[in-house]
Amino acid sequence: MTHACRPAREDGLLRLKTFVPRAGSAYAKSRNFDLGSDDRSNVSVLSPYLRHRLIGEDEVVRAVLSAHRISAADKFIQEVCWRTYWKGWLEQRPSVWSDFLAELERDQDALREVPDMATAHAAAIAGETGIEAFDAWAKELITTGYVHNHARMWFASIWMFTLKLPWTLGANFFYRNLLDGDPASNTLSWRWVAGLHTQGKHYVARAENIRTYTEGRFDPAGQLNEAPDPLDGSEAPPATRLKTPMSVPPGEPIVLLVNEDDLTPERWPIDAAQVKGVALLPTDTSHPGLAEHVLAFRTAAIADTAARAERFFGCPVMSLATAEPDGAIALCRAQGVEKLVTAQVPVGPSRETYDAFVEKLGGSGIAAMEVRRDWDSAFWPYARAGFFKVKERIPETLERLGLM
Ligand SMILES: Cc1cc2nc3c(=O)[nH]c(=O)nc-3n(C[C@H](O)[C@H](O)[C@H](O)COP(=O)(O)OP(=O)(O)OC[C@H]3O[C@@H](n4cnc5c(N)ncnc54)[C@H](O)[C@@H]3O)c2cc1C
């Protein structure tokens, strides 16, 4: 089975429909096996769609619960909620993202100054370390944009503890190449493997575990550092308060501003009748070095969204060539609208781009506002400490959201 992802909502929905029968106990039993890139039947490969909200977490959970009891699908639903947990956690600690970027820059400088590190890094990202499993995953990442969850854990662990490379460089390699590359899930998962998220608790890749869960495809016996110390790092800052979600005043005409973090404006918590125009930001290239396949996926996903928005809202839809606000301002003026509405922009490159965009609206008479999805509003307040606080609230929260 191929897992090539086509960047369209329809394909995400089809993939979901096909996966639903396997989301129950079959998933719980088999999800940890990395069966190789030709067989991803034990996992959903929905992450590129969820990452860009071409499909929503609520849609996924609703579909799964229409076919399984929550007791059978709890593992799968928990995994979906890991994404929500990471997003909510970073939203409440935005400095963890800016600290990551600053540390990444220092580590990139070190690469230029320390030849041995540069050689080891070049071998790692080319898949030429001599550790067969690691090399295969590096190549899978750069050719397909997808790596199985367990392999991501092994890969990150080997990167830090066996190859002794800085975690930020590994996180950046993933972020630039994954179709689901996400500032929260990726950065925080790397920190988790390092022992920086739960201080002192790191994830150690072991040859025997790799042999078992790759069904013997790989066996790096004797090649891994299986007794490393966790990385040292400062404690994460305390959680900040989440902003109170806003809602669009009833009856006020609005123009939607869509960015690649939430590509289903037809499902935003707004009244479609108020929408007089839709402006779509282009793919955000502010993070340097995004792979061609990532840019192509995002660009096509945005084009798919423009086509859907046109059909759904039946109003003018404009694809902006740059993140400058002139086009959106012109659209608002042409439609007699003074408010631009966007779905909450998460911490990461989009946030930085959006904040700059809003600043440049100053003096135009156009105001910007963000609306938050019910899913995020329901779960994020629990994402302040460990995952457990989210996990224990899953059934009651799904009930509150009307999903079970
Ligand atoms: C080092 C490392 C880096 C990662 N980077 C990313 C990333 O950039 N973007 C990303 O979406 N996920 C990331 N993950 C989490 C996870 O590996 C992927 O979400 C998952 O492998 C996607 O495959 P799937 O859709 O087949 O998952 P499934 O097993 O089918 O799970 C369903 C959905 O749940 C979510 N999910 C599953 N596991 C996790 C998890 N551990 N953390 C967060 N969400 C999860 C995803 O949205 C996924 O599509 C990372 C994990 C590690 C260990």
Shortest-distance Cα residue to atom 33 of ligand 1: 80
Burial category of 260 from C-beta neighbours within 10 Å (exposed 0-12, middle 13-18, buried 19 and up)? buried
Q: Which residues, listed in sequence order, are joined to residue 319 by a DSSP beta bridge?
A: 280
Has residue 365 got a pLDDT over 50?
yes
Assess whether the C-beta atom of 305 lies below 6 angstroms from ligand 1. no
CA angle 105-108-109, nearest 5°?
90
% of the chain exceeding 70 in pLDDT:
99
Centre of ligand 1 from the C-alpha of residue 34, in Å? 13
Centre of ligand 1 from the C-alpha of residue 149, in Å? 6
For residue range 11-29, what is the model confidence (pLDDT) as tens digits?
A: 999 999 999 999 999 999 9
Dihedral, 315, 318, 324, 325 alpha carbons, nearest 10: -10
pLDDT mean over 385-402: 97
Assess whether the C-beta atom of 37 lies below 6 angstroms from ligand 1. no
Centre of ligand 1 from the C-alpha of residue 83, in Å? 7
Neighbours of 290 (CB within 10 A): 19
The domains found in the chain, sorted by start residue, are 9-91+380-400 (1.25.40), 96-213 (1.10.579.10), 254-371 (3.40.50.620)
Strand pairing category for 339-343 and 254-258: parallel
| Positive/negative CA dihedral, 38, 39, 41, 42 | negative
Q: Tell me the H-state helices in 362-393.
A: 374-379, 388-391
Measured from the CA of 50, which atom of ligand 1 is nearest? 47
For residue range 183-226, what is the model confidence (pLDDT) as tens digits?
A: 999 999 999 999 999 988 999 999 999 999 999 999 999 999 99
Has residue 1 got a pLDDT over 80?
no
Confidence of residue 2 (pLDDT cuts 50, 70, 90): very low
- How far apart are the C-alpha atoms of 225 and 204, rounded to whole Å? 8
- Following DSSP, what letter does each residue of 34-88 receive, concatenated? ---TT--TTS---HHHHHTTSS-HHHHHHHHHTTS-HHHHHHHHHHHHHHHHHHH
For residue range 309-323, what is the model confidence (pLDDT) as tens digits?
A: 999 999 999 999 999
Choose between 404 and 110: higher pLDDT: 110
Burial category of 103 from C-beta neighbours within 10 Å (exposed 0-12, middle 13-18, buried 19 and up)? middle
Name the residue of 83, 167, 169 to mutate for ligand 1: max ligand atoms within 8 A of Cβ. 83
pLDDT of residue 234: 83
Q: Mean pLDDT across the chain, nearest whole number?
A: 97
For residue range 114-139, what is the model confidence (pLDDT) as tens digits?
A: 999 999 999 999 999 999 999 999 99
